[in-house]
Chains A and B, each alone.
Chain A
């Protein structure tokens, strides 16, 4: 093939440009530590990157939700625990005072303590967390149990998403705790505060029959509270497990994202070295290619 001057320069130019751009690419990858700078660097990878990032943010949010609800759940558990303690105390007092040896005056005196228990349980029912009445359902900006023991909240259950598409309740509705359902009422059960009021009345009036029926009712209330407590515990446990799982999922997802978007430093370094060598070789051979001409040898 006949080689013209412009061909030689073009060849040299193209080769040097190619080597330079390869070298610059490798350097770019190395210095930015990013494998994908533009969509066209790896379109499929870029689309994956967008999905992974969204997934990771979602996982972090689920963990945040669980973290937020933890305080709420803990507070609810504490309140229920204290309510059980109070019910147990009331029951102990009732058992003690139901004895025939106890006189009317002692019962009247103990009734004051029952009154205090009633106040305390009312207060516990109106426990707040972050300004929210935790047993009030959705109407949780106002106290959920009146001084008369009436439930003022609603049946709202607060659901939070704890993993993709999985919404779990974090609250117990006060109505289930403090009020007897119609079915329970049919069986002759009372609301929690009514049970305590009956006990109070029995003590005040030294009415043993009343005290006995209150005592039975307290057993029922205690069992109900304990069941509710267990429900909360179960929610808390499952949240903890979800939280752990979310954490490891996030780690997995991050490593996937990193595989797509981050530079493999060893590979990029060796690429850089290689392209650098190519560039230097091209440059040094280029000067040799451009020099000789018959003119150099003419006198």
Chain B
């Protein structure tokens, strides 16, 4: 049988529920600007009615649960998009820094220096015996050599820089995996006993997963205990329940001592090398630019250097010099490289030329100081189609190379902006579901406040009624 105290109880419960509403609104407002936060909602439910003398009487309301507004599907989409955007943004950034090596603004580019070198040959062709003009040619040779060396060292420095970033990301991935494993445990503990959903912990874990997906390729699923299992490149397990892997780096002596990436499980047993097995995330982009794009450019630079050195030397060896060299042939103008990979790095004017500019072989006949025939043969190299099956000139090859690089950068930027747009669209979707709106919270607060006021009115009314009942006795 219900009485006044029963009604008093309904009022008190209602006070509690509405206070909880204000609480949650406050929590939402406090987290309005927190990244990854999903707004929470108080779910009030009617209590089961009581049967009193054949009548079912309402029994008030109670807080059944507090849930977060969250859409798993959108979250998955967002993580996929992050994987792509992490890769494309990193690639665009890395390519841009390589692009600077070949900046057209640079006045000491290989192309400019080669042009100057050929013009110095022309000048010497005008005055084959002039010592000053000979010295100028040697200087121009030094400049060409320096331009090649600069490109080579800049590209290698870029590879080192990317390597450092790979190091940073490897540590980030290890840290994130560990934190996710910790959260797995916490979530299991908080949810396990009471069948509740640990909203805030899950928000934190979602945020970490999102960050992780920007760095490295991942696939994940949730097991029955609310724990997240994450697999990385080539299906290697990154997180399994409360365990997490560590990402290890080993320098690879076959790749200039740059890092290979491997993933080791928590027991330290298996260590899988996943360097060439990435598919998505910043890590893949960094490895790709470091080991493919930059390497290709370094090779092209070496190829260009090797071809120029060979062609110039071939002609130069046919000629005669001045003074002590006026009856001798067979000298190189540029020092030939010992092996292809270090051609550009070791590019230099031959010692014999550096020591005496009389060694420059301008003449095609012995003892002929005015002979410029060999110089003219050297000059013709400028227009000689010496690259790509004798289809492209030296300068053509260089301009093709830079054009292609420029297009690569443009493509990388396009992909990046497309992915940025995608991420921002999906993010809007996510925000639309999970984001906090202050207006809404203000309205909610007003609602709960009004409810709170009304509930307390119920209590004071019951109080007055009790007074009335107590006065009956007097």
Contact = CB atoms under 8 A, between A and B. Distances in A.
Interface of A: 1-7, 9-10, 14, 34, 36-40, 42-44, 46-51, 53-54, 57-58, 61, 64-65, 68-69, 130-132, 136-141, 154, 156, 158-161, 164-165, 167, 261, 293-295, 298
A249 to B, nearest CB: 16
A57 B112 CA distance: 9
A4 B368 contact: no
B431 A7 contact: yes
Interface of B is mostly: helix
A215 B450 CA distance: 136
Given A58-B115, A69-B126, A10 B370 contact: no
A295 B405 CA distance: 54
B105 A34 contact: yes
Nearest to B400: A47
Contact of A160 (B96, B126, B406): B126
Contacts of B118: 58, 61
A160 B33 contact: no
Contacts of A47: 399-400, 402-403, 406
Interface stretch (B157-165, B295-303, B327-335, B372-380): B372-380
A137 B32 CA distance: 90
Contacts of B400: 47
Interface residues of B, number: 67
B436 A5 contact: yes
B320 to A, nearest CB: 10
Interface of B: 32-33, 35, 39, 96, 99-100, 102-105, 109, 111-112, 115-116, 118-119, 122-123, 125-127, 129, 363, 365, 367-373, 376, 379-380, 382-383, 395-396, 398-400, 402-407, 409-410, 413, 424, 427-428, 431-439, 442-443, 446
Nearest to A156: B371
7 contacts: A6-B32, A6-B431, A39-B409, A53-B112, A139-B370, A141-B370, A293-B439
B323 to A, nearest CB: 11
A138 B363 contact: yes
Contact of B122 (A65, A293, A295): A65
A39 B102 contact: yes
A238 to B, nearest CB: 18
Given A47-B400, A294-B442, A158 B383 contact: no
B405 to A, nearest CB: 6
A293 B428 CA distance: 20
A39 B402 contact: yes
A298 B442 contact: yes
B344 to A, nearest CB: 18
